[in-house]
């Protein structure tokens, strides 16, 4: 009987140990799943994130409007070194009367930091924000399903950006597609002011002297309407006009790269550039956020 009791105790001990091991293993699996799918590039610094080019060599491919449907074609910029795994992707819409050329500077600058970037043309230059939202989604669908670079893109990590009506379109795209991982509206314009249904981390960049889409009527109400979770930020460019996003801008680039890295790639190394809010930066007139993320 004593031997039987000892055997039973040993059995219970082994079962308990197995259960604990299984729990720990399960937790380890969950922890691994929470890690970024692919981390690209060396540890970032202020110098690396503000440099005109990042660590990746970039190539580009022109996409004719005749070869696509739902948007007006564009240019794909992409890293040529894929040894670190799949890349996140972002589509960028121009504003009212604008073409992809007005957003071309984002292509090589963002792609050199480890993203696939699609600067698109819209079907017509006068398309309204909701149409631009649909076109942004169509361009993302093209990227992951039909483009020549589809094999280097992680289809689960997609984002949108846009200027003016394209910025309003990026907000609407995020509202329509909760699966998007990041949105960056640039001096955005939209007649709708309530985007409380957006579930995508969103960085809104406004311009202090914008007379086309004044921040008090557009960028700020958009930001205030967004939910705090899963994260939002508002950056206002000091002394800048509505067209500030159309030319190479270090402040826009820095915060766009940090936002896309943080939320497209889930790369927490870039938290340092978003939280706490920047201080003593003459290029920024206002910054608000839901730090920490």
131 belongs to the catalytic site:
no
242 belongs to the catalytic site:
yes
Residues 131, 170, 242, 256: which is the catalytic one? 242
Residue 22 lies in a domain: no
Residue 134 lies in a domain: yes
Residue 5 lies in a domain: no
One digit per residue, the tens of pLDDT, for the chain of length 293 reads: 333 333 344 334 333 443 333 433 333 333 333 344 568 899 999 999 999 999 999 999 999 999 999 999 999 999 999 998 999 999 999 999 999 999 999 999 999 999 999 999 999 999 999 999 999 999 999 999 999 999 999 999 999 999 999 999 999 999 999 999 999 999 999 999 999 999 999 999 999 999 999 999 999 999 999 999 999 999 999 999 999 999 999 999 999 999 999 999 999 999 999 999 888 899 999 999 999 98
Residue 2 lies in a domain: no
The pLDDT assigned to 37 comes to 52
Residues 164, 170, 256, 289: which is the catalytic one? 164
Domain interval for residue 197: 48-289
Residues 121, 141, 210, 267: which is the catalytic one? 210
DSSP string, the chain: -HHHHHHHHHHHHHHHHHHHHHHHHHHHHHHHHHS-S---SSPP-HHHHHSSS-SS-EEEEEE-GGG-SSS--EEEEEES--TT--EEEEEEE--TT--GGGGTTHHHHHHTTTEEEEEE--SSTT--HHHHHHHHHHHHHHHHHTSTTGGGEEEEEEEEEEETHHHHHHHHHHHH-TT--EEEEES---S----TT--S-EEEEEETT-SSS-TTTTHHHHHHHS-SSS-EEEEEETT--TTGGGS--HHHHHHHHHHHHHHTS--GGGGGGTSSPP-S-TTEEEEEE----
Q: How many domains, the chain?
A: 1
The pLDDT assigned to 119 comes to 99
Residue 245 lies in a domain: yes
228 belongs to the catalytic site:
no
The pLDDT assigned to 38 comes to 64
pTM of the model: 0.87
Residue 37 lies in a domain: no
Residue 32 lies in a domain: no
The pLDDT assigned to 277 comes to 84
The pLDDT assigned to 10 comes to 37
Residue 40 lies in a domain: no
Query: Which CATH number fits the domain that encloses residue 250?
Result: 3.40.50.1820
């Amino acid at each position: 009987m004593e031997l039987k009791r000892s055997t039973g105790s040993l059995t219970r001990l082994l079962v308990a140990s197995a259960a604990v091991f299984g729990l720990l293993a399960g937790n380890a699996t969950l922890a691994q799943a929470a890690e970024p799918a692919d981390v690209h590039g060396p540890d970032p610094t202020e110098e690396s994130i503000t440099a005109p080019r990042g660590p990746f060599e970039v190539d580009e491919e022109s996409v004719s409007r005749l070869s696509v449907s739902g948007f007006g074609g564009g240019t794909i910029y992409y890293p040529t070194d894929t040894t670190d795994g799949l890349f996140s992707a972002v589509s960028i819409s121009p504003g009212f009367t604008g073409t992809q050329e007005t957003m071309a500077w984002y292509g090589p600058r963002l792609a050199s930091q480890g993203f696939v970037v699609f600067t698109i043309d819209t079907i017509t230059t006068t398309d309204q924000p909701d149409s631009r939202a649909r076109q942004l989604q169509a361009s993302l669908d093209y990227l992951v399903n039909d483009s020549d670079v589809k094999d280097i893109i992680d289809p689960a990590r997609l984002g949108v950006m846009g200027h003016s009506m394209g910025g309003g379109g990026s907000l609407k795209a995020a509202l329509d597609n909760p699966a998007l991982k990041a949105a960056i509206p640039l001096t955005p314009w939209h007649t709708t002011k309530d985007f409380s249904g957006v579930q995508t981390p969103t960085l809104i960049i406004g311009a202090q002297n914008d007379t086309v889409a004044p921040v008090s009527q557009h960028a700020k109400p958009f930001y205030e309407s967004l939910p705090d979770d899963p994260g939002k930020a508002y950056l206002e460019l000091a002394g800048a006009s509505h067209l500030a996003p159309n030319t190479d801008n270090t402040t826009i680039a820095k915060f766009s790269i940090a936002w896309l890295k943080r939320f497209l790639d889930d790369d927490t190394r870039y938290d340092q550039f978003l939280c706490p809010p920047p201080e003593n930066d003459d290029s920024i007139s206002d910054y608000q956020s839901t730090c920490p993320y």
